Amino acid sequence: MSQFLRYLIRLVLFILVQEFVLYQVPPLHHYLTPVVYYLFILWLPFTISRSGLLLLSFITGLTMDFFTKTPGMHAAACVLIGYIRPFIITVLMPRQSNEFNYREPSATSLGLAPYITYVSLLTLIHHGSLFMIQAFQFGNITYLILKTLGSSLISLLLILVVEVIFTRKQKFITNT
C-alpha cells in the first residue's frame, strides 16, 4: 500500500510540475521545450508486468493531456516508451542478472553508463514521437529534428538535476 501511495504521489508531482512550471515558463527558444514528466515511467519498478506498464504509461500520458487539452498526444508517446522500455532494460542489464536485487532502474541498479544510455534513448524516442505527432499538424522535417534534439538536451539536463537533488535510496534486496 505504501508503495502504491509513493508512486501515486510521484505521478501527481511530476504532472503538476510539468504543467504548472515547465509548460508555463516562457520558452528560451521555440526549439527548447523542457519535458520531464515521463521520468515517472522510467522509474517504475522492474517487477511490473508489461501490460501493466503499458496501462500506467497510457494513464500518465492521458492525465497530462487533460491539462494541456491535447487529447492522445502525450498518451501516444508514453505508450510507445512504455512498450520499448523492457527491451532496452534487457539489453542494458548487467550479465550477473541482479535484476531483482534492486527495485527500480537507477544509476546504482543499472550502472552509471547503462543508466545514462537508458534515459537518453527513451528521452529521444519520447520527444521524437511527441513532436512528430505535433508536426502532423504543422512544421517541417528540420524543425522536427532540431526541436527533438534541442528539447532532449534541455530535458536531460533537467533530469540530471532531478537525479542529483532527489536521490532515491535503493535497498539491495537479497533472498537470504
Residues lying near other proteins in the complex (CB under 8 A) are found at 16, 20, 23-27, 30, 33, 50-51, 54-55, 57-58, 61-62, 65-73, 75-76, 79-80, 82-83, 133-134, 137-139
Give whichever of 77 and 119 is closer to other proteins, judged by the CB atom: 77
- Closest distance to other proteins from the beta carbon of 151 (Å): 11
First to last CA, the chain: 24
CB nearer other proteins, residue 78 or residue 156:
78
Of the pair 80, 93, the CB lying nearest other proteins is at 80
Whether residue 115 contacts residue 107, with contact meaning beta carbons closer than 8 Å, is answered with: yes
Residue 21 is classified by DSSP as: I
> Are 154 and 118 within 8 A, CB to CB?
no
State the minimum distance, in angstroms, from the CB of residue 124 to other proteins. 18
What Cα–Cα distance (Å) separates residue 175 from each residue in 20, 98, 101, 103, 172? 43, 11, 9, 13, 10
Nearer to other proteins, 67 or 102 (CB): 67
State the sign of the Cα–Cα–Cα–Cα dihedral 64, 45, 148, 140: negative
Nearest distance, CB of residue 88 and other proteins, angstroms: 15
